[in-house]
Amino acid sequence: MKKSYKLYFSLCLLIILSSCTEKKNPVMNIVSESKPKFESPIAEETAQKRADSIVALMSTDEKLDLIKGHNGFFIKGFEKYGMPDIYLTDASQGVHIRESFLGSDLSEYALPKSVAFPNTLCLAATWNPKIARTYAKSIGEECKAAGIGVLLGPGMNIYRNSQNGRNFEYMGEDPYLAARMVEQYIVGVQNTGVIATLKHFVANNTDYRRRASNTIVDERTLHEIYMPAFKSGVDAGALAVMTSYNLINGEWAGQNDFVINYLLREKLGFSGLVMSDWWSINDCKALVNSGQDLEMPGGESMANLKSYVEKGEVDIKKIDKMCGRIIKTLAQMGYLDGPIKDTTYLEKFEVHEQVALKTAREGIVLLRNENNVLPISKDSNKKILLTGIYIDEVIYGGGSGEVKGYNKVTMLDALQKVYPNLEYKPEATEDDLKNADVVIVSVGTWDWEGCDRRFALTTEQEELVQKASTLNANTMVVVNSGSGIRMSDWNNVKAIVYNWYPGQIGNVALAEILTGITNPSGKLPMSIEKEFKDSPAYGYVSEDTAFLSDHEKYLDTSIPESELNRWSFDTSIDEAKDLLYNVEYKEGVLVGYRWYDTKKIAPLFPFGYGLSYTTFALGNIKLSSNEIAKTETLKVTVEVANTGKVDGATTVQLYVGEQNATVTRPVKELKAFQKVWLKAGEKKQVDLYLTPESFSYWSADTRDWEINAGKFTVFAGQSSANIEAETVVTVH
């Protein structure tokens, strides 16, 4: 009896103490959604032991062969150690089919076809991380079907500069949004048994003379803006990282000790394979000391590396570590134990096409819809005129991420199917424009790796839109681009639809949206400024620089070499030494909407913006507590209502701003979001969570994350410029 009594007393005391603890710390037990995490088939510790045992058997020549690329797109294999050749392929809009490179036959790894997905910026415009996982899973499965071991993606460089020719491969201007998409992407790819590669580390935000571009950026800005997406990828279990072409504060990223050893390995905790981008290294000694593992495509800087090792100028133990990390990474994915290729995935291409279509449905953004000119029903007897460019072809981003696709549906194909009265005129006359009931003008840019392009469209396109809108009050514009464009001179058109690079089947989604079959729900993952001079990136090149605005000219072999050089902006690593120019990130952490908010510059279309055929309202914001400790998680509940007559979706966006900051901080920063589907007239309560990270900043003094005690405003809205509810929390 005494033992029972003591047990009963102890239990009562425990319950009382627990109750007191809960009252004292009301948010301690809140658990937000767990972050996705890939678990490799072989544990890292086991894989490392195996790698070490192989490295111990390797000769110096074998080690030096392993740390340089092989045949352009391979990690060299060694049959006697059970290591196969590993093929790497490019990736942004799907699997890049490459049958040869620099004379090497790669046809064994070339798929008969690969799905062209909407570009990655369109993926980010869905604001739906679940789609990111299925999108990436589909690409991973196509890699497996070809026996591809490493996907050279996803790209996650921040959209700082709207003229960047490679924005189409990335996930927008906000590090939090990019991070949530990236972590799902990593798990989606690697769960198929394919290694994903985070690229390009780091602060590579322009492609104009990219090897000659010296990014001048402080450590706080790196941690708060340019590294969070990489951190999320590392935390999600990414097995590989690719460094960037540019210099960081005076040294090329691919051979930069601060970038790789300090930022990537020490601060982000990455222990996997780091590879260079192609032809981005010029100093093998710096490479070995930097924490880099693999020089692609073929170890071009390593001609004298063996002699440096023999003279003791390069420590062989560091090369052993490079080899060990490469082999460990391959072993973790099981590449030393079985075949990579699985042709059963060839049967899933129809599923992948539907994933591409769903991505376009949720990623296409309706920017303007004056007087509800859209949707135009399929049953409409209106005479519709279609004119402009990229109508009878499917446009995509160019360069290494190029994916051409198959079973392609052009804009003309898609719109003719839904509008029997549609007439296509590549060069419409004034009478054509006047006499139509509705004019749809298709405009766009062909963005390309290795060069930037002007913010404005070509003169011909600008004139066409303005002419059409002058002659016909019911003019609408469809934009096909991998980045923002200048629209200030024709923002008075009746409707603007941002179609991005829609992929092989995305124009079907465009037709669905124009007809109202699909209610648009995409939101901009970046701000679109009125003029490029409004951007913090303005001035990085001279005003009189000749930009590549027409890639047909660039690719036209009939153009004289002297003229071609005028358009080609990429450089070799050797040429870059004489062409170095600084890009100073003077804006610090004020990138994108952070800049426009703080500087009180109104963009043409703000971050997070996108219209629907219905209307939504946010309100009744509640906190789980009005006061929290720095270590606690805060639950924020927001009521969202569909106040219109059509079923649809919006994205509830939660921003946080410190009221009395001790350092420069943005007015507000995105810290949580959720896409919500509602029937007409329906209301829901959405729970979002703010973790300690949501309130923190990177301290230049402590070189660590810090949280100030004080008041923080919590904003809820449907874009960065449309805040509908706010409240205040005190952090102790």
- Are the C-beta atoms of residues 686 and 650 closer than 8 Å to each other? no
Give the CA radius of gyration of the chain: 27
- Residue 10, phi then psi, degrees to nearest 5: -60, -40
In 3D space, the residue among 483, 486, 488 whose CA is nearest the CA of residue 499 turns out to be 483
Distance CA 340, CA 87 (A): 10
DSSP per-residue codes, 594-608:
HHHHHHT---SB-TT
CA atoms within 13 A on the CB side of 538: 11
* Catalytic one of 277, 447, 452, 534: 277
Helix/strand/coil percentages in the chain, nearest 5: 35, 20, 45
Distance CA 424, CA 445 (A): 20
Enumerate the β-bridge partners of residue 67.
none
- Are the C-beta atoms of residues 216 and 585 closer than 8 Å to each other? yes
Burial of 262 from C-beta contacts in 10 A (0-12 / 13-18 / 19+):
middle
Joined tokens for residue 342: 């699985």
How many Cβ atoms sit within 10 Å of the Cβ of residue 455?
24
Cα distances from 306 to residues 76, 302, 502, 551, 601, in angstroms, run: 18, 8, 48, 43, 56
Joined tokens for residue 304: 């004298």
DSSP per-residue codes, 618-680:
EEEEEES-SEE-TT--EEEEEEEEE-SSS-EEEEEEEEEEETT-SS---S-EEEEEEEEEE-T
How many Cβ atoms sit within 10 Å of the Cβ of residue 172?
27
Amino acid at 51: A
Distance CA 529, CA 634 (A): 33
Say whether the peptide bond before residue 228 is cis (omega within 30 degrees of 0): no
Find the angle CA(351)-CA(357)-CA(359) to the nearest 5 degrees. Answer: 105
Burial of 684 from C-beta contacts in 10 A (0-12 / 13-18 / 19+):
middle
574 is catalytic: no
Helix (H) or strand (E) segment spanning residue 563: helix 561-567
In 3D space, the residue among 497, 541, 538, 489 whose CA is nearest the CA of residue 515 turns out to be 497
Distance CA 203, CA 226 (A): 6
What b/e sequence results for 650-665 when a residue is b if at least 16 CB atoms lie within 10 Å of its CB, and e otherwise? Answer: bbbbbbbbbeeeeeeb
Extract the runs of DSSP E, i.e. beta strands, from 68-153.
74-75, 86-90, 100-101, 104-105, 150-152
Say whether the peptide bond before residue 502 is cis (omega within 30 degrees of 0): no
Q: Which residues are catalytic?
A: 277
